[in-house]
A = this chain, B = another copy of it.
Amino acid sequence: MRIALDAMGGDQAPAVVVQGAAQAAQQFRLRNDEIILVGDQRLIEAELQRIHRIPKNLSIQHAKDVIGMHEPPITALKQKPDSSIRKCLELVRTGEADAVVSAGNTGAMVAGSIFTLGLLVGVRRPGIAAPFPTRRGGTCIVIDVGANIQCKTDHLLQYALMASIFSHHVYGKKSPRVGLLNIGEEELKGSSLLKETRVRMEQLPLNFIGNVEGRDIFEGECDVVVCDGFVGNVLLKTAEGLAETLMHGLRSEVGKGPVRRFGAWLLGPALRRLRYKADCAEYGGAPLLGVSGVCLKCHGRSTAEAISNGIRVAAEQCRYDVNQHIVLGLNASHLAVEPSRAAQS
């Protein structure tokens, strides 16, 4: 398997990305796979110099341009045909790579994948499925967190099915519990669109547990939470902001005086684990489900470990043929749209 990795994407690219690639390339499960570092060859080579023993399954593909984290996606994609992210997507389109992993500009990744790879047969809209930590140590995925801010019922139903299939194959959940994000558990809550979605979701071949609330994500009450991309993005950013603020508060409180610093030293591993749990950037990346290819978006602040996790998740999505299962699943549950009508759906 070959993973195209956008070496120039992310706040600390290419350094952290190259380190993450090296970590992943040495892992037992990925030793037979190839990781293609896409970006400025000179910069990537300089970063590789710092690595003790360069794994043989790392290669480089040069791309001279970079799309910045805050550039307007569509314009940037047009003006920079030789950007690392476009090159990655091209490698998948031509079959030279099986998956793309990027910690770069999310909008460019989403728009670029749709234009370059197109959608899976039967899919109406792609959705970003972001993993969140739960109290019991598991993972709950929230779809969509920003690809599609004005969702129709059919989009939400497809999201539910796609994420359920992903959760089953990649996270090994036997029968993923799917919840619809609402502001109360009662059937009559929410907009008319949500009420209709709830009724129709009950008829799908899913382990649908009804309406859930934001807090249920973290309490481990469900494995998949479905919402529109606006709400999901607000939820993601809120969770990130709160977690950072609490960890910032902990750091500044703990640093006050030698007694507290000694206490913190004794608590070392406990505090580190908390910090890890609180850091959304650590969670292996979010797949863009529904595009015709495997595209995984890592957080802009990803560490090397997070990049390595992202590569592993993308590889598993390929290995278990998740996209094929999605196409079959949508068909079997009569949710697939005819390709000719996909654009208007």
Contact = CB atoms under 8 A, between A and B. Distances in A.
Interface residues of A, number: 58
Given A183-B230, A219-B241, 16 more contacts: A134-B245, A135-B249, A181-B234, A183-B233, A190-B230, A214-B239, A214-B241, A215-B240, A215-B241, A219-B245, A235-B235, A238-B239, A239-B242, A253-B274, A260-B267, A266-B266
A241 B267 contact: no
A277 interface: yes
A218 interface: yes
A235 B232 CA distance: 10
Nearest to A135: B245
A5 interface: no
B215 A238 contact: yes
Contacts of A183: 146, 149, 229-230, 233-234, 237
Interface in A225-257: 227, 229-231, 233-246, 248-250, 253-254, 256
A133 B242 CA distance: 9
Contacts of A240: 214-215
A249 B267 contact: no
12 contacts: A190-B230, A213-B241, A214-B235, A218-B241, A219-B245, A246-B278, A249-B274, A253-B273, A254-B267, A263-B264, A263-B265, A263-B266
A217 interface: yes
A191 interface: yes
Contacts of A146: 183
A262 interface: yes
Contact of A267 (B135, B267, B274): B267
A248 B135 contact: yes
A271 B248 CA distance: 13
